[in-house]
């Protein structure tokens, strides 16, 4: 779902406070959200919604996922000066945050493409509290895969489940309890366990915290039709090595929890 009115109200409220004097400016103005560095843009719907909440008209000149260059305007607004100024900081913050994620994702995808035409770069559930939807869509805008959106989207059989029930039993346990609409992924920490998980019915096997060589070995043991994912502290530099293992998906928490913001400025008049 797009950002809600309630979210925007919270965002504006925490920035404006009870009595803001500096924005009490009469008249109308135009404004442009301008990139200060090269990157890939996202969060335009959220940034637009902030202005629109205050009755300011918005026109976007690029789309989420477009590469932009320093100096390029991504959004133009027209409205009462006081409302343009009130929305400015929040709009810049959300666009910068989302575009930072998208830019970082794009870099990871590009790094993967040097080695593999098909491997997916995916996000994780390591998102900033309150911004799950914005950040997942930013990953997708960068050419990435959203991965599971929330705990109800896909079952992940974790090491503690396996420790308690055994791998095969754990897979069966969850298969029986989830909808046919839900995929089941199994997290393993040894290459051979991937094969067992696939045999037990896993749709996807996650090789967690393994070096590329072990991942490759695990992938080779998997039957056709079972997807393989690598995860665990993988950095931008590691991407080609993991991409070369034959995995289908490389997931990286850093896409959402550690991407630096993309720098934008807002220029009025």
Q: Which of 260, 254, 262 is nearest to 121 (CA)?
A: 254
Can you read off the two tokens belonging to residue 244?
A: 């070369």
User: What amino acid positions are annotated as catalytic residues?
Assistant: 126
Angle at 125 between CA 135 and CA 185, to 5 degrees: 130
Question: Considering only residues 133-162, where is the footprint of its own copies by CB under 8 A?
Answer: 133, 136-137, 140, 145-158, 160-161
Q: Are 57 and 77 in contact (CB under 8 A)?
A: yes
Question: Considering only residues 196-215, where is the footprint of its own copies by CB under 8 A?
Answer: 204
Buried b (16+ CB within 10 A) or exposed e, 117-135: eebbbbbbbebeeebbbbb
From the list 66-74, 109-117, 126-134, 190-198, the region that binds its own copies by CB under 8 A is: 126-134
Please state the closest distance from residue 202 (CB atom) to its own copies, in A. 13
Instruction: Enter the DSSP assignment of 145.
Output: B
Please enumerate in sequence order all residues whose Cβ is within 8 A of that of 25, keeping only pairs 6 or more positions apart, or say none: 81, 82, 85
Please state the closest distance from residue 196 (CB atom) to its own copies, in A. 19
Taking phi first (over 0 means left), then psi (-120 to 50 degrees means alpha), and beta for anything else, what does residue 30 get? beta
Pick the binder of its own copies from 110, 236, 244, 257 (CB under 8 A). Answer: 257
* Binding flag, residue 221, its own copies (CB under 8 A): no
Pick the binder of its own copies from 39, 65, 79, 100 (CB under 8 A). Answer: 100
From the list 59-67, 71-79, 223-231, 236-244, the region that binds its own copies by CB under 8 A is: 223-231
Question: Considering only residues 233-252, where is the footprint of its own copies by CB under 8 A?
Answer: 233, 248-249
* Binding flag, residue 106, its own copies (CB under 8 A): no
Question: Considering only residues 45-84, where is the footprint of its own copies by CB under 8 A?
Answer: none
Site string for its own copies, 159-188 (x = CB under 8 A): -xx--x---------x--xxxxxxx-x---
């Amino acid at each position: 779902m797009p950002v809600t009115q309630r979210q925007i109200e919270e965002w504006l409220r925490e920035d404006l406070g009870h009595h803001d004097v500096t924005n009490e400016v009469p008249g109308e103005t135009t404004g442009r959200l301008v990139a200060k560095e090269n990157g890939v843009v996202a969060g335009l719907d959220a940034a637009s919604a902030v202005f629109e909440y205050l009755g300011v008209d918005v026109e976007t000149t690029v789309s989420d996922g477009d590469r932009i260059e320093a100096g390029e305007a991504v959004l133009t607004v027209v409205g009462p000066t006081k409302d343009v100024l009130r929305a400015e900081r929040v709009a810049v913050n959300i666009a910068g945050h989302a575009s930072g994620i998208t830019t970082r994702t794009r870099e990871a995808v590009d790094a993967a493409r040097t080695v593999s035409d098909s491997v997916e770069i995916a996000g994780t559930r390591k998102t900033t509290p309150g911004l799950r939807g914005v950040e997942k869509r930013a990953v997708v805008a960068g050419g990435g895969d959203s991965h599971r959106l929330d705990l109800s989207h896909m079952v992940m059989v974790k090491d503690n489940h396996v420790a308690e029930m055994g791998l095969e039993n754990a897979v069966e346990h969850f298969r029986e309890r989830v909808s046919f609409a839900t995929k089941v992924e199994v997290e393993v920490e040894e290459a051979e366990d991937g094969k067992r998980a696939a045999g037990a019915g896993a749709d996807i096997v996650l090789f967690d915290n393994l070096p590329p060589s072990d991942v490759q070995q695990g992938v080779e043991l998997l039957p056709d039709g079972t997807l393989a994912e690598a995860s665990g502290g993988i950095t931008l530099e590691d991407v080609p090595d993991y991409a070369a293992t034959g995995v289908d998906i490389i997931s990286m928490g850093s896409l959402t929890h550690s991407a630096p913001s993309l720098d934008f400025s807002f220029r009025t008049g």
